[in-house]
């Protein structure tokens, strides 16, 4: 057990989701599903203009509709303490003033005794506006207005724009449209005030502690007076990383009507209320020698943000980090548009950046007539090219090999559009991804009860990856007890603190805290026996012999000094095989294999699901997803599941997730790195590269719809 880092759990580790039965039998309760006594229902009313101000808002009809308790607008909303000294640019302040910054912006909240009555009354709220027709919603028309963000800085390593004078040079522009997280579970919150200065919320959030802090700050409450509960979250992907205006509105409304308020966003609301992956323009310049050594990389990107707040992401960073290249420079800009603020979406920035960089590498491979994997190997970074630090671990080359063997890369033709089988064009593509590996601080309480049940408690949420299952796996191995004997209690702000679930860091952070807590608990049992070896402790007998009802520890654990000494990243490679109808342009994914170098896999089944889910998201990004605004009105036209296309069962073949499964010796005691983001980063490029290999058509603007390949 002391040798956890060197131990390699096998890829057939069979622990199923500890909460799987609760989920499939409908007993797992999501935030909208709590039956709270005296509950009332809120429905938001959105602005129908894109820029301007509210001249008049008529709520009389709505207020007199049956069952209506209140109609809240900027005219009557209670003042939110946290809004008062907020900086001019920042999170959208709901019901704060008459200004309209984007179409669909909430301008009223109707609260009624039933959902249907609230919905009906919401239709009766009528606003008239002073319309400002100068609104801008089209990123590509606003590239020249983009500016370097406030805290941003151009990056230069070696010589700027060195690609321009390289023997072989390539320059191309890439565009991704807005992608929306759209988890199955709608964002929802129930707010109930317990006293004038105490509130409970059942909320869809990735972080109960961060939501506790946000609500406490907004309403000027001691954090302990805000209770946040989220034991189950039905997908989030970044959309529930922050506390959004609708959450503040629900807490506010519960104060106004003096009853609990439930606010569930509609699917249409989801497109304008909880962020999205921003529309982004990119330009890549690559310079190389004839034998495929990169001489220079220049990566420019402009993403969109809202008119009221800057949202930045690491779009260009991947070009600074991915390959050994002496000359790299990047420029990142933002264009402020009349849209709501974007937010991190799985592989935030990197997924966008990897589409451009990894497409460009593929283009270069054809220009040089070098196999795309071989080209990457010729530019493989053995130390971090930006900091010069050694990697804590990197087995990307092994991942290339695993994936290539599995997809049948040797069957690929280097000549695009040259393989026609059964009337379909066949092609293979690959692309790599990377994402920082982190370990934060978390506190875990571990309690061994007299019956041998181990309870693990910490505030972390599980947004889907199977955090509780990973925790049970780590504890089972460390304590030497079966997983059935482990109870995981998570998702409540009253539990010992854990960070927000996001940035692929939770298994590393919380898994390690579980590990450390278990080691400490075993140590405590060890002192009961006086024995030196602690491997064969019988906890039940020891408790009984010592007349103890239970033994518990509360352990805080975090990363140490090694974090500064090494460059820490997870790596992935995605292989896609496509079959394309040359007449209709219909693209079918024939096979997809993703390989992760994410350290030790602590929970094989959930890890596999995590990688497969990320691949599907990347295929969606590559082939389908596109939130379309009609720029004449600044309004979304496909803000529903019928018109916003996502990958469905019929689009997805059997997917393969493979793992290098070698421990990272430095990040943490369990040897695991993150895998949530790398599952998606690079997939869209792999799809585009496969489409090119099949057809000879290079599509640089996502999604790759059939009209772009015929
Ligand atoms: Mo995520 S984009 O780390 O929730």
Q: What is the 3-state secondary structure (H, E, C) of 462-519?
A: CCCCCHHHHHHHHHHHHHCCCHHHEEEECCECCCCCCCCCCCCCHHHHHHHHHHHHHH
| Number of neighbouring beta carbons within 10 Å of residue 355 | 31
Angle at 232 between CA 230 and CA 238, to 5 degrees: 80
State the Cα–Cα distance between residues 593 and 658, nearest whole angstrom: 7
Please write the tens of the pLDDT for every residue from 488-530.
999 999 999 999 999 999 999 999 999 999 999 999 999 988 6
Which residue's CA is the nearest one to ligand 1's atom 4? 238
Q: Indicate if ligand 1 lies below 6 Å from the C-beta of 346.
A: yes
Give the atom of ligand 1 at the shortest distance from the alpha carbon of 348. 2
- Tokens found for residue 196: 């004038």
Ligand 1, from 240, 348, 437: best to mutate by most atoms within 8 Å of Cβ?
A: 348
Place of tokens 């309403």: 219
Q: Indicate if ligand 1 lies below 6 Å from the C-beta of 348.
A: yes
Please write the tens of the pLDDT for every residue from 610-666.
999 999 999 999 999 999 999 999 999 999 999 999 999 999 998 999 999 999 999
Residues 6+ apart with CB under 8 A from 391: 382, 383, 384, 566, 567, 568, 569
State the Cα–Cα distance between residues 559 and 667, nearest whole angstrom: 7
pLDDT at 3 over 80: no
Q: Indicate if ligand 1 lies below 6 Å from the C-beta of 585.
A: no
Strand-strand pairing, 442-449 and 454-457:
antiparallel
Place of tokens 């941003």: 152
By the 8 A CB rule, do 29 and 229 touch?
Answer: no
| pLDDT for residue 2 | 36
Give the atom of ligand 1 at the shortest distance from the alpha carbon of 206. 4
pLDDT at 560 over 90: no
| pLDDT for residue 130 | 98
State the Cα–Cα distance between residues 681 and 684, nearest whole angstrom: 8
Q: Indicate if ligand 1 lies below 6 Å from the C-beta of 183.
A: no
309 is catalytic: no
- Nearest of 530, 506, 514 to residue 478 by alpha carbon: 514
Give the atom of ligand 1 at the shortest distance from the alpha carbon of 503. 3
Q: Indicate if ligand 1 lies below 6 Å from the C-beta of 671.
A: no
**Backbone phi and psi for residue 495, each to the nearest 5 degrees, phi listed first:** -80, 165
Please write the tens of the pLDDT for every residue from 255-267.
999 999 999 999 9
pLDDT at 9 over 80: no
pLDDT at 136 over 80: yes
Q: Which neighbouring-strand residues pair with 326?
A: none
Burial of 406 (0-12, 13-18, 19+ CB in 10 A): middle
Ligand 1 center–CA 580 separation, angstroms: 33
pLDDT at 531 over 70: no
| pLDDT for residue 535 | 59
pLDDT at 464 over 70: yes
State the Cα–Cα distance between residues 270 and 322, nearest whole angstrom: 34
Q: Indicate if ligand 1 lies below 6 Å from the C-beta of 681.
A: no
Ligand 1 center–CA 691 separation, angstroms: 28
Ligand 1 center–CA 570 separation, angstroms: 15
Give the atom of ligand 1 at the shortest distance from the alpha carbon of 501. 4
| pLDDT for residue 582 | 97
| pLDDT for residue 537 | 81
Percent of the chain with pLDDT over 70: 97
**Taking every pair of C-alpha atoms in the chain, what is the biggest distance, in angstroms?**
79
pTM for the structure as a whole: 0.96
Ligand 1 center–CA 606 separation, angstroms: 17
Please write the tens of the pLDDT for every residue from 281-306.
999 999 999 999 999 999 999 999 99
Q: Indicate if ligand 1 lies below 6 Å from the C-beta of 503.
A: yes
- The interaxial angle of helices 604-623 and 350-368, nearest 10 deg, is 70
pLDDT at 11 over 70: no
Give the atom of ligand 1 at the shortest distance from the alpha carbon of 237. 4
Ligand 1 center–CA 677 separation, angstroms: 7
Give first-to-last CA distance, the chain, whole Å. Answer: 58
- Nearest of 332, 363, 329, 327 to residue 350 by alpha carbon: 332
State the Cα–Cα distance between residues 544 and 534, nearest whole angstrom: 17
Q: Which neighbouring-strand residues pair with 43?
A: 110
Ligand 1, from 503, 614, 674: best to mutate by most atoms within 8 Å of Cβ?
A: 503
Distances (CA, A) of 625 to 164, 316, 618: 34, 22, 10
Place of tokens 């592989």: 347
pLDDT at 700 over 90: yes
- Tokens found for residue 366: 């054809």
Ligand 1 center–CA 346 separation, angstroms: 5
């Amino acid at each position: 057990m002391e040798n956890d880092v060197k131990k390699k759990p096998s890829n057939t580790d069979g622990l199923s989701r500890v909460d799987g039965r609760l989920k499939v039998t409908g007993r797992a309760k999501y935030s909208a599903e709590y039956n709270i006594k005296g509950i009332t229902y809120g429905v938001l009313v959105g602005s129908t203009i894109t820029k301007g101000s509210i001249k008049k808002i008529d709520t009389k009809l709505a207020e007199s509709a049956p069952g209506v308790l209140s109609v809240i607008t900027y005219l009557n909303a209670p003042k939110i303490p946290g809004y008062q000294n907020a900086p001019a640019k920042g999170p959208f302040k709901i019901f704060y003033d008459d200004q309209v910054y984007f179409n669909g912006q909430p301008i009223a909240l109707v609260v009624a005794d039933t959902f249907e009555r609230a919905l009906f009354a919401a239709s009766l709220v009528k606003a008239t506006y002073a319309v400002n027709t100068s609104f801008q919603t089209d990123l590509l028309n606003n590239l020249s207005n983009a500016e370097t963000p406030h805290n941003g800085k151009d990056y230069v390593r070696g010589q700027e724009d060195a690609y321009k004078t390289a023997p072989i040079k390539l320059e191309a522009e890439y565009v991704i449209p807005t992608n929306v997280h759209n988890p199955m579970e709608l964002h929802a919150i129930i707010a109930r005030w317990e006293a004038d200065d105490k509130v409970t919320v059942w909320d869809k959030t990735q972080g109960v502690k961060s939501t506790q802090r946000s609500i406490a700050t907004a309403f000027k409450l001691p954090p302990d007076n805000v209770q946040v509960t989220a034991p189950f979250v039905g997908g989030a992907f970044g959309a529930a990383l922050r506390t959004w205006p609708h959450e503040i509105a629900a807490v506010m409304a519960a104060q106004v009507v003096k009853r609990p308020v439930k606010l569930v966003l509609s699917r249409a609301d989801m497109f304008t209320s909880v962020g999205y992956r921003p529309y982004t323009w990119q330009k890549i310049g690559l310079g190389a020698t004839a034998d495929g050594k990169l001489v220079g990389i220049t990566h420019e990107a402009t993403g969109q943000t809202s008119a009221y707040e800057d949202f930045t992401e690491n779009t260009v960073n991947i070009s600074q980090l991915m390959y050994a290249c002496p000359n790299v420079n990047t420029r990142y800009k933002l264009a402020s548009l009349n849209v709501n603020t974007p937010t991190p979406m799985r592989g935030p920035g990197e997924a966008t950046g990897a589409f451009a960089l990894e497409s460009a590498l593929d283009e270069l491979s054809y220009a040089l007539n070098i196999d795309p994997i071989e080209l990457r190997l010729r530019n493989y970074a053995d130390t971090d090219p930006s900091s010069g630090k050694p990697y804590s671990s990197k087995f990307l080359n092994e991942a290339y090999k695993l994936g290539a063997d599995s997809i049948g890369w040797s069957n690929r033709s280097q000549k695009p559009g040259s393989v026609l089988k059964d009337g379909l064009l066949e092609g293979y593509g690959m692309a790599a991804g990377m994402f920082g590996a982190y370990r934060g601080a978390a506190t875990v309480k571990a309690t061994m009860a007299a019956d041998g049940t181990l309870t693990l408690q910490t505030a972390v949420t599980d947004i889907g990856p199977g955090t509780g299952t990973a925790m049970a796996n780590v504890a089972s191995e460390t304590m030497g007890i079966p997983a059935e004997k482990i109870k995981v209690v998570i998702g409540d702000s009253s539990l010992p603190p854990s960070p927000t679930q996001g940035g692929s860091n939770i298994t590393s952070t919380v898994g390690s805290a579980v590990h450390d807590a278990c080691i400490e608990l075993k140590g405590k049992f060890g002192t009961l026996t006086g024995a030196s070896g602690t491997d064969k402790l019988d906890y039940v007998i020891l408790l009984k012999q010592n007349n103890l009802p239970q033994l518990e520890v509360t352990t805080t654990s975090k990363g140490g000094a090694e974090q500064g000494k090494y460059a820490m990243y997870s790596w992935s490679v995605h292989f896609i095989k496509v079959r394309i109808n040359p007449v209709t342009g219909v693209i079918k994914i024939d096979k997809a294999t993703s390989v992760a170098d994410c350290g030790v896999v602590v929970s094989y089944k959930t890890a596999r699901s995590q990688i497969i889910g990320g691949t599907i998201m990347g295929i969606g990004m590559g082939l389908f997803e596109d939130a379309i605004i009609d720029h004449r009105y600044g309004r979304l036209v496909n803000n529903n599941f019928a018109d916003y296309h996502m990958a469905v069962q019929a689009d997805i073949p059997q997917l393969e997730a493979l793992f290098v499964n070698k421990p990272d010796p430095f990040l943490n005691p369990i040897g695991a790195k993150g895998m949530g983001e790398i599952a998606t980063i690079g997939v869209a490029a792999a799809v585009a590269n496969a489409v090119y290999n099949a057809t000879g058509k290079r599509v640089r603007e996502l999604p790759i719809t059939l009209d772009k390949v015929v």
